[in-house]
DNA sequence: CGCGATTCATTCGGGTGTGAAAGAGATCGG
DNA sequence: CCGATCTCTTTCACACCCGAATGAATCGCG
């Protein structure tokens, strides 16, 4: 069973397909149990664990471009999950922080995702999961061709 | 080195981040060298290797919902890459096939992606790459919780 | 001090994805 | 044969992402 199905021999396409499936499942659980989207939950976690941050910093960690962060945070602000205020020490930037509702949502989302992640780890097995973590981290932190 | 950075401990978030980075890079190369997007190239490959197919079949292989396929194929038809015609044996469905331009684009895209994929394989190393392929295939073909 | 370069965020236009609902054609059971 | 039902695709409203261009504030260097 060396051969994999046609399309799957392109790692990047395979990752996209896997990401799509996982995202769909995670998103539906997160919406149902925490009333947030998968993208939003990533921001919530970041703020929950590392506190108030600038927009650019969020984009850096999550590998998102500036326009994506602007839109995401704006929708979250409308939803009452975060507040945005001008950085008084550098008025170009804006700082984002959790609201109380945001904190509660973050904690619910964390529960949901913890469970989901555990299922995935089970599915892969301990050793494979560790290798995949490491491999994806490497790809995620260093995807540029001419390093 | 057991501990990974905060956000990364959620496999699904990590996959999203990696997918985003890889997609961005692949997309930019594909646009430059073959004048197609990454999503479009997945459809092109499928048609190139397996021939004319129905919309639903494309969605099944690529893990895309029906509305996504409709939009994707429509934009590709506008771009002259594919043609869509009614399935005469079942007039509910539509068949999609490559145009000549589509075939040429598919072959260029194949070259680009072959190179990109080789780089990724290099970056991961042979054994890790094989494990990642296998693991993602498992996740991509079986992401449902209650199996 | 002051002006050009840099940095942070937003806006703009467009591709990509989703779930829900609608329309059209096939199918099957009475 | 024909209506209930199922299947395939589309439409709709929306979330999400990107690159390019813009606006606003800071920085840096003469």
Instruction: Judge whether residue B143 has pLDDT over 80.
Output: no
Interface touch A7/B45, C-beta < 8 Å: yes
Residue in B24, B120, B143 nearest the CB of A139 = B120
Among all residues of chain A, which has the CA nearest to that of B38?
A13
| Contact, A55 CB vs strand C, < 7 Å | yes
Chain B: give the shortest CA distance to residue A17, in Å: 6
Q: What DSSP state is assigned to residue B94?
A: E
**C9 C1' to B129 CA distance, Å:** 39
Among left, alpha and beta (phi > 0; psi -120 to 50; other), residue A63 is: left
Q: What's chain B's average pLDDT? A: 91
Give which of A33, A86, A31 is closest to A55, Cα–Cα. Answer: A86
Protein-covered nucleotides of chain D (CB closer than 7 Å) are 7-13, 15-21, 23-27
The pLDDT confidence band at residue B145, using thresholds 50, 70 and 90, is: very low
Instruction: State whether residue A42 is helix, strand or coil.
Output: helix
CB A79 within 8 A of CB A98: no
Span B42-53, average pLDDT: 97
CB A25 within 8 A of CB B145: yes
pLDDT tens digits, B73-91: 999 999 999 999 999 999 9
pLDDT of amino acid A142: 62
pLDDT of amino acid A50: 96
| Contact, B54 CB vs strand D, < 7 Å | yes
Taking only the tens of pLDDT, chain A with its 147 residues reads 433 444 456 899 999 999 999 999 999 999 999 999 999 999 999 999 999 999 999 999 999 999 999 999 999 999 999 999 999 999 999 999 999 999 999 999 999 999 999 999 999 998 999 999 999 999 887 644 433
Residue in B14, B64, B117 nearest the CB of A137 = B14
How far does Cα A81 stand from its chain's mean position? 16
List chain B residues with CB under 8 Å of A128: 131, 134-135
List chain A residues with CB under 8 Å of B124: 135, 138-139
CB B15 within 8 A of CB A18: yes
Please give the Cα distance from B91 to B97 (Å, whole number).
17
């Amino acid at each position: 069973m060396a051969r994999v199905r046609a399309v799957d021999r392109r790692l990047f396409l395979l990752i996209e397909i896997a990401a799509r499936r996982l995202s769909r499942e995670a998103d539906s659980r997160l919406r149902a149990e925490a009333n947030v989207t998968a993208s939003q939950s990533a921001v919530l976690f970041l703020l929950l664990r590392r506190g108030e941050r600038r927009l650019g910093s969020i984009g850096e960690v999550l590998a998102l471009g500036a326009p994506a962060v602007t839109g995401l945070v704006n929708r979250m602000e409308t939803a009452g999950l975060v507040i945005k205020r001008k950085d008084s020490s550098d008025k170009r930037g804006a700082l984002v922080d959790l609201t109380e509702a945001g904190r509660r949502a973050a904690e619910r989302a964390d529960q949901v995702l913890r469970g989901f992640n555990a299922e995935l780890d089970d599915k892969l097995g301990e050793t494979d999961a560790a290798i995949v973590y490491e491999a994806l981290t490497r790809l995620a932190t260093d995807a540029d061709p001419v390093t």
